Structure 1
Amino acid sequence: MDDQNKNLILAVALSGIVLLAWQVFFPAPTQTTAVETTQLSQPTDSAAPLLPPSTDAGVQASTDTPSPTAATAERITIDTDRLQGSLSLAGGRIDDLSLKDYTVDLDSDEIVTLLEPVGAESPYYAVYGWAPAGDLPQEYVPNANTIWSVEEGDVLTQTTPITLVWDNDNGMIFRRTIAIDDEYMFSVEQSVENTSAAPVRLSPYGIVARHGTPDVSGYFVLHEGLILQSDDSYEKETYKKIAKFDMNAAEGGNTSKYTSEENGWIGFTDKNWMTTLVPQPGQAFTSVAKYVPTKDTYQIESRLPVQEVAAGATVTSKTYLFAGAKEWEAIKGYQDDLGIHRFIYSIDWGLFFFFTQPIFRLLHAINLLIGNMGWSIIALTLLIKGIMFPLAYKSYVSMARMKELQPEMEKMKADAGEDREKLQKGMMELYKKNKVNPASGCLPLLLQIPVFFSLYKVIFVTIELRHAPWLGWIRDLSAPDPSSILNLFGLLSFSPPDPSSILAFISLGILPILLGISMWLQQKLNPAPTDPAQAMIFAWMPWVFMFMLGSFASGLVLYWITNNTITFIQQYLIMRSHGHKPDLFGNIARSLRLKKKEGSA
């Protein structure tokens, strides 16, 4: 087997390894099969969240008695500019919430549902209450199925809060005032009035319960599951990890606890949505995360310290609940205005947040001016390339000089034959004589790698690009290019294969093809490696990347095309300014003539 065939096989093998590795670390979207559960036709105590234990004695709250009236309990409508739904007077649960500004699919009118009551397909809700302490009986405090009465308000809007009340008929009156702003933040103010002759001890809590294992995207670079901030410590865990927390028999489920002295929050995050319990800033509390096998429920809690309510006194506790879209401006506003510590980190910026956050803020600012995320990505790329140009200029000059030395390098290679040591020594002398640094050509690539991955993270995890159009056929920059070469980009009537199909790998859209061409053109300006195997691998790389990035978000591919195009123009002009006219297609013509000559011989 000759060297050329060996190099071809090597290039194909390496390309296959790269593609396989890419599929491992950046798999196509998959859905985790939810654990099958028996859906109840009515809420009962067995479907309620596992309440915190009695604080002092560690006795589990009773959930033995069903509540048949819960299914018919009255509901209070929730209606704001951005949210719609209802809350149940059974437990005062916030368990029905949809986002008015977001549809399930690009061409759908169905809006995104975030919270659902027990009996729905995926129950997911928030409930608040008081845990008894000392010798206070469990039945003296409201539970998840207690039927509350409306004391004030009939519809929960951003201007009209509602107040619920429950009298335990044992000298304690509980009230809960729920308000919501014009975005996604609920405030929940709980109070207990002690009209008895003796003091009582109890502690307020908030719970978010999620029945069954949620569907997740399955991407390596995206976290979905538990997120929490405990003072200056940030933690995150997958649902799989939560289910493996050490068993705590007193809790009745797998449990992990985190204590905050002053600031923190705990929540469940999806790719674009989040439900988070937020105690008042400065308030010490304990966060709890658990999986309850008997209920097949993932549960988070915020437990506040025990309070003693003197006879004739009233105590009040206020907390927040964020339930909505992970919009940067809204979350940043809550961090600044409410003092929620590091709330912006509820968005998954990744390990390189020091790159990712500034890039997103810059992209966001540009989009506010332009009003189109596609053109904003192009403008951002132009700005980044302009900033990097002084650093890259010397690299481009060095590559231009290396291109000029290509004939001498080829001659030196022919003279050295199989003597690689002689070839390397001669090339180093040639570089030194002409003051050329062969490694400097890597500088532009090294500079753009962190930018590329940061922008990839931004486009993938931030909701601002979800369903954001650019032009023509690109109607969602967070999704792959929907066009396909298999149906001649829409000229033929049949639809391209589903993204989960194996044929989707070869169903290239317009943007991925333009990406491959832009990489190939850029590569033609660079000096070819002297080693045949390396040269073959480099020759394959544009087309390998074309397939690799074909399933990426259109916004990222658009950035890469823009970056390649600008780089090509800069490098071409610099080479022309140094007296070298790049011959982009000459190598192909010479190669074809050489093969024809060899064939005729």
Structure 2
Amino acid sequence: MQNQRNVIMAVILTGLLLIGWEAAMRWFYPAPPAKPQGAATAASTDAAKPTREGGLQNAADIALEKKDLRAELAAGNRVAIDAPGLKGSINLKGALVDDVTLVRHRENVDKNSPPVRLFSPAGTPAQHYAQIGWVGEGVATPDTNTVWQADSARLAPQTPVTLRWTNPTGQTFAIKYAIDSDYMITATQSVANTGAAPVVVKPFALVNRTDKTASVDTWQLHSGPIAALDGSVNFDNNYSTVTEAPGQAVALKGATNWIGFTDIYWLSALIPDAGAKAEGSLRSLGNNVFRADLIYPGVSIAPGKARSQTVRLFAGAKENSVLEKYEATGVTNFSLAIDWGWFRWFEKPIFWLLDSLFKLVKNFGVAIILLTLIVRGVMFPIAQRQFASMAAMRALQPKMKALQERYKDDKQTQQQKIMELYKTEKVNPLAGCLPMFLQIPVFFALYKVLTLAIEMRHQPFALWIKDLSAPDPLHVLNLFGLLPFTPPSFLAIGVLAILLGITMWLQFKLQPAAMDPAQQQVFAIMPWMMMFVMAPFAAGLLIYWITSNILTIAQQKYLYSKHPQLKAQADKDQLDVDRSVAREQKPAANRKPKTR
């Protein structure tokens, strides 16, 4: 009866776990909303939560963005950006970098889909742009309405562009833009004073954006304002903390190494020259618009003199190799714009190994399988010791039962004698848990890599798996997409989740039987519980776990062949447990009454 109660409790707890897991997944990883049909549906998307990809979620905003963008870009008066990493244009009105798309990244898994748009002009629903300028004291300085003159119509790695504007009092302001083959734009802003009196100007740079396009911000994946201060990357602020700050502004303490806004996959950041005493701040402008400022000290420019200041603008994807390249050129801890978290010392080597395997085989799914082979191969000697320890534990069973019987009324002495037995026989009862504990950091590292590394985004494997960073798209309950509905995530069981459950069940079947019948019944339902829990996870993670289960099954069969006595004992234990379960399930009326 006690065992039956234990099983019932296990089933109840499993159900609560499934329901809680579904709620957590909906909160932390909301699915992109379907395109609304009609006014009622459109209104319901106003409060849609951000997604991992980011971007506008409201259908009305999406339609208006397309309309506004066409009008803004058709107006002309722009300098084209034409580089291997970036395409777009610079608006000569205001000298705004407000039109940037990422050549190497597409909006969705379709290779013919448009490139990801990072910057959009001011006033559009997805506004996101950078401005380079000056604040003057008693002197006219250019602003967002200033129309600049360009010395070239195209900005490319081989052809920088200089914009100029002269005020009525004889000060000429210039911004020289240069771009590399990835995502870095270098802006050299200068002022030449040909007037009759000295002038004081304060250079600045800013990034302005709406949070309507922000990606989801969770406890483990930061999205929002970001800065490196005194060499340490600061993830403390998000859009809500900036909005709630006194005066809706956050002054950042320490020397600003770089500052801007990050999504899970994208980054826009301003980088001052090394040694420049630039102050960084974050500000809410209201109406879902935010600004990151980089302000330099004011400088006095005498007549006939000129002063210049350089700032770099990163506008692109958070590709680890690209960020590390810029970090090597002096951008402090730039690769940590990827939110690796506390365990980056383990995650980055896993990422490096996975990326190296991908470059070798050209398929991230195959690379994940090879990574699993390497991990299991490294742990194989530990697994051998685990089985040897299990064999030794089986051999000790008669002695342990004798001690348990002898000291059944004195549990403390019983435990002490059993520990002395372990020490005398040189057996470690925890040795069997070691491989599982060693796999946990690998599993967690791969989970982080799949959720934050853009290198995994939209990477196909085979057949129906088009994106290893997304869940399995085929669900059994809607007949693999034939029925027009999407099951809730905890019921969205795909082929990979089923394979996970089957391989885990086979793995558990090969393990030595638990002596407690209730415990064995819990183990029997565990694979199917994990099938539901893991279904919403990235397909790449399920491929790793399925491969690991298959290798574990093969490993167990091999090691059982090397330890036949352990296999024989396991079969005997299983028979004993089956008999015990049968006795528990036997109706009480058919049992013989106990005699005193």
Bucket of the pairwise TM-score, normalised by the shorter protein: 0.7 to 0.9
Shift, 1:420, TM fit: 7.7
Change (3 A) 1:562 1:420: farther
Shift, 1:453, TM fit: 0.9
State how 1:113-262 maps to structure 2 within 5 Å.
Answer: 113-132=117-136, 135-137=137-139, 140-150=140-150, 152-236=151-235, 237-247=237-247, 253-260=248-255
Change (3 A) 1:283 1:102: same
What SS does the aligned partner of 2:253 have? strand
Shift, 1:598, TM fit: 4.2
Change (3 A) 1:129 1:375: same
Per the alignment, residue 56 of structure 1 pairs with none
Per the alignment, residue 359 of structure 1 pairs with 350
Change (3 A) 1:11 1:377: same
Residue 261 of structure 2 is aligned to residue 272 of structure 1:
no
Does the aligned pair in 2 maintain the 1:356–1:455 contact within 8 Å? yes
Matches of 1:93 and 1:169 in 2, distance apart?
Answer: 22
Q: Deviations over 1:299-354 (max 9, x none)?
A: 10111222221210111111111111111111111111x31111110111111111
Change (3 A) 1:379 1:404: farther
Per the alignment, residue 30 of structure 2 pairs with 29
Matches of 1:588 and 1:507 in 2, distance apart?
Answer: 36
What SS does the aligned partner of 2:483 have? coil
Matches of 1:285 and 1:588 in 2, distance apart?
Answer: 74
Does the aligned pair in 2 maintain the 1:525–1:582 contact within 8 Å? no
Per the alignment, residue 494 of structure 1 pairs with 483
Per the alignment, residue 393 of structure 1 pairs with 384
Q: Deviations over 1:520-565 (max 9, x none)?
A: 2222343344445544433332222211111111111111122222
Match 1:288 to one of 281, 291, 296: 281
Tell me which amino acid in the other structure corresponds to 2:556.
Q
Does the aligned pair in 2 maintain the 1:70–1:90 contact within 8 Å? no
Matches of 1:585 and 1:268 in 2, distance apart?
Answer: 60
Does the aligned pair in 1 maintain the 2:160–2:176 contact within 8 Å? yes
TM-score norm. by structure 1 comes to: 0.83
Matches of 2:331 and 2:493 in 1, distance apart?
Answer: 45
Change (3 A) 1:526 1:395: same
Shift, 1:417, TM fit: 10
TM-score norm. by structure 2 comes to: 0.83
Tell me which amino acid in the other structure corresponds to 1:273.
W
Say which structure is richer in helix. 2
State how 1:285-364 maps to structure 2 within 5 Å.
Answer: 285-293=278-286, 296-336=288-328, 338-364=329-355
What SS does the aligned partner of 1:551 have? coil
What SS does the aligned partner of 1:438 have? coil
Does the aligned pair in 2 maintain the 1:509–1:550 contact within 8 Å? yes
Does the aligned pair in 2 maintain the 1:259–1:285 contact within 8 Å? no
Per the alignment, residue 39 of structure 2 pairs with none
Matches of 2:476 and 2:404 in 1, distance apart?
Answer: 41
What SS does the aligned partner of 2:385 have? helix
Does the aligned pair in 1 maintain the 2:188–2:309 contact within 8 Å? yes
Shift, 1:594, TM fit: 6.8
What SS does the aligned partner of 1:243 have? helix
Match 2:551 to one of 554, 558, 566: 566
Residue 483 of structure 2 is aligned to residue 483 of structure 1:
no
Matches of 2:7 and 2:402 in 1, distance apart?
Answer: 24
How many residues are paired up? 555
Matches of 2:109 and 2:57 in 1, distance apart?
Answer: 28
Q: Deviations over 1:174-230 (max 9, x none)?
A: 011112111111111111100012221212111101135444335442110111111
Shift, 1:488, TM fit: 5.1
Residue 474 of structure 2 is aligned to residue 470 of structure 1:
no
Tell me which amino acid in the other structure corresponds to 2:182.
E
Shift, 1:155, TM fit: 1.4
Does the aligned pair in 2 maintain the 1:246–1:256 contact within 8 Å? no
Q: Deviations over 1:378-431 (max 9, x none)?
A: 112222222333344322322344467779989999999999889868876875
State how 1:534-573 maps to structure 2 within 5 Å.
Answer: 534-573=519-558
Matches of 1:148 and 1:585 in 2, distance apart?
Answer: 84
Change (3 A) 1:488 1:158: same
Tell me which amino acid in the other structure corresponds to 1:136.
G
Matches of 1:329 and 1:73 in 2, distance apart?
Answer: 35
Change (3 A) 1:371 1:124: same
Q: Deviations over 1:17-53 (max 9, x none)?
A: 44455456553325437899x99xx9xxxxxxxxxxx
* Greater mean deviation of Cα atoms: 88-97 or 382-391: 382-391
Matches of 1:172 and 1:309 in 2, distance apart?
Answer: 10
What SS does the aligned partner of 2:332 have? coil
Change (3 A) 1:570 1:409: farther
What SS does the aligned partner of 1:486 have? coil
Does the aligned pair in 1 maintain the 2:517–2:577 contact within 8 Å? no
Matches of 1:119 and 1:585 in 2, distance apart?
Answer: 72
Residue 441 of structure 2 is aligned to residue 442 of structure 1:
no
Does the aligned pair in 1 maintain the 2:86–2:100 contact within 8 Å? yes
What SS does the aligned partner of 2:252 have? strand
State how 1:38-77 maps to structure 2 within 5 Å.
Answer: 74-77=77-80
Per the alignment, residue 16 of structure 1 pairs with 15
Does the aligned pair in 2 maintain the 1:281–1:341 contact within 8 Å? no
What SS does the aligned partner of 2:380 have? helix
Change (3 A) 1:15 1:257: same
Per the alignment, residue 451 of structure 1 pairs with 442
